[in-house]
């Protein structure tokens, strides 16, 4: 059988809608009928050649936020069965980088990459949970060490920041947010933060234990060091710029801990799925059709995307 897919054929070239043979699961692998695939800014950047050498394989089907139902199992894939609902932890197999990813009707994944989707979590939520959800949860809980009673500041109330803010409030933290956009600040309030500011400098005096920077524009990192309490922890997630100038005197004299947080792991994905299933975590998503992909990528590129896009089959 053949399937439809959006294939990247070269850096800086439009994705091509092609027909490809259905992939066949090998030993320890499963074939997944994709039900939802999330779009990420990194997909735009890879297609444009900004993230070279990513992807490492050309031509390739992009898309690393994948959720679906198992359609076939290979030899030795005894942990899962046909009909099981699963999300894919893309760092195991490199979907959208070294292996064809989610902008297709089907894909193959190793059983080690699979995360079971619980009842109450939709395919759309599950797809987003494999990247945006995982990254935000890991930054707040694993890297940030946020617990009940933590005073937490969130810089950047976009898709990841809003999820991070909600995870913080669910955990029992007192959460503040900073974002220059009024609509973003409102998303923060919807997520349960107690107060939203238009500038990070307004965190000063709040005695924050943890600040998580989902923006990463250099100045945000620098100001976070100035406003966090002595002995506080700053978690850097956003990469708005590649380099930043910071006040090392403030960093050292206040004994501030500055750490980076990249992605997460399958345990983070499973935790996010449970939050979706319980109804505690709700995030605005924009469902699109398979044919809508080029338009959605353009909107991501020019900043007019109304939310986080997810292809639904």
pLDDT at position 306 is 81
Residues 60 and 126 placed together within one structural domain of the fold:
yes
Q: What's the CA gap between 224 and 254, in Å, rounded?
A: 12
Residues 110 and 148 placed together within one structural domain of the fold:
no
Q: What's the CA gap between 76 and 55, in Å, rounded?
A: 29
Residues 121 and 233 placed together within one structural domain of the fold:
no
Residues 212 and 110 placed together within one structural domain of the fold:
no
Residue 307: pLDDT above 90? no
Boundaries of domain holding 270: 2-131+264-312
Residues in contact with 309: Cβ distance below 8 Å, sequence separation at least 6, in sequence order: 38, 39, 285, 286, 288, 296, 299, 300
Q: What is the CATH number of the domain that holds 217?
A: 3.40.50.720
Residue 166: pLDDT above 90? yes
Residues 241 and 140 placed together within one structural domain of the fold:
yes
pLDDT tens-place string over residues 37-73: 999 988 999 999 988 999 999 999 999 999 999 999 9
**Domain boundary residue among 224, 239, 260?**
260
Residues 108 and 154 placed together within one structural domain of the fold:
no
Q: What number is the average pLDDT over the span 227-237?
A: 98
pLDDT at position 304 is 85
Evaluate whether 236 touches 261 at the Cβ level (below 8 Å): yes
Instruction: Mark out the alpha helices in the chain (DSSP H runs).
Output: 41-48, 123-128, 134-137, 159-171, 182-191, 219-227, 248-253, 266-278, 293-302
**Domain boundary residue among 260, 280, 298?**
260
Residues 127 and 10 placed together within one structural domain of the fold:
yes
Among 182, 156, 187, 140, CA closest to 283: 187
- Residues of the chain above pLDDT 90, percent: 89
Three state DSSP letters for 51-108: CCCCCCCCCEECCCEEEEEEEEECCCCCCCCCCCEEEECCCCCCECCCECCCCECEEE
How does residue 129 score in pLDDT terms, banded at 50, 70 and 90? Answer: very high
Residue 303: pLDDT above 90? no
Task: Report residue 73 CA to chain centroid gap.
Answer: 28
pLDDT at position 239 is 83
**Domain boundary residue among 225, 245, 260?**
260
pLDDT at position 95 is 97
Residues 182 and 65 placed together within one structural domain of the fold:
no
Residues 126 and 269 placed together within one structural domain of the fold:
yes
Evaluate whether 165 touches 99 at the Cβ level (below 8 Å): no
**Residue entry with tokens 């195991």:** 92
Q: What number is the average pLDDT over the span 218-226?
A: 93
Q: What is the CATH number of the domain that holds 50?
A: 3.90.180.10
Q: Which two tokens stand for residue 232?
A: 């506080």
Residues 164 and 228 placed together within one structural domain of the fold:
yes
Residues 40 and 183 placed together within one structural domain of the fold:
no
How does residue 90 score in pLDDT terms, banded at 50, 70 and 90? Answer: very high
Whole-model pTM: value is 0.93
Residues 31 and 110 placed together within one structural domain of the fold:
yes
Give the chain's domain count.
Answer: 2
């Amino acid at each position: 059988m053949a399937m439809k897919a959006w294939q990247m054929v070269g850096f800086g070239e439009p994705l091509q809608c092609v027909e490809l043979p259905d992939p066949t699961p090998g030993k320890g692998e499963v074939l997944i009928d994709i039900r939802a695939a999330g779009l990420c800014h990194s997909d735009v950047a890879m297609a444009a050649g900004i993230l070279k050498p990513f992807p490492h394989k050309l031509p390739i089907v992009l898309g690393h936020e994948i959720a679906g139902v198992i359609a076939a199992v290979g030899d030795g894939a005894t942990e899962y069965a046909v009909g099981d609902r699963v999300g894919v932890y893309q760092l195991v197999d490199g979907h959208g980088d070294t292996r064809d990813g989610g902008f297709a009707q089907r894909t193959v994944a190793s059983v080690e990459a699979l995360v079971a989707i619980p009842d109450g979590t939709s395919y759309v939520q599950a797809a987003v949970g494999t990247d945006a959800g995982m990254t935000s949860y890991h930054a707040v809980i694993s890297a940030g060490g946020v617990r009940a009673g933590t005073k937490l500041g969130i810089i950047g109330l976009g898709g990841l920041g809003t999820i991070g803010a909600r995870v913080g409030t669910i955990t029992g933290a007192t959460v503040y947010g900073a974002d220059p956009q009024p609509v973003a600040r409102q998303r923060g309030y919807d997520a349960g933060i107690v107060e939203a500011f238009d500038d990070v400098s307004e965190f000063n005096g709040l005695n924050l234990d943890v600040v998580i920077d989902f923006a990463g524009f250099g100045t945000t990192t620098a100001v976070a060091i100035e406003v966090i309490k002595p002995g506080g922890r700053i978690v850097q997630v956003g990469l708005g710029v590649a380099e930043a100038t910071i006040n090392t005197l403030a960093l050292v004299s206040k004994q501030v801990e500055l750490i980076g947080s990249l992605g997460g792991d399958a345990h983070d994905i499973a935790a996010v799925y449970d939050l979706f299933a319980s109804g505690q975590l709700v995030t605005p998503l924009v469902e699109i059709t398979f044919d809508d992909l080029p338009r959605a990528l353009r909107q991501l590129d020019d900043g007019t995307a109304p939310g986080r896009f997810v292809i639904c089959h």
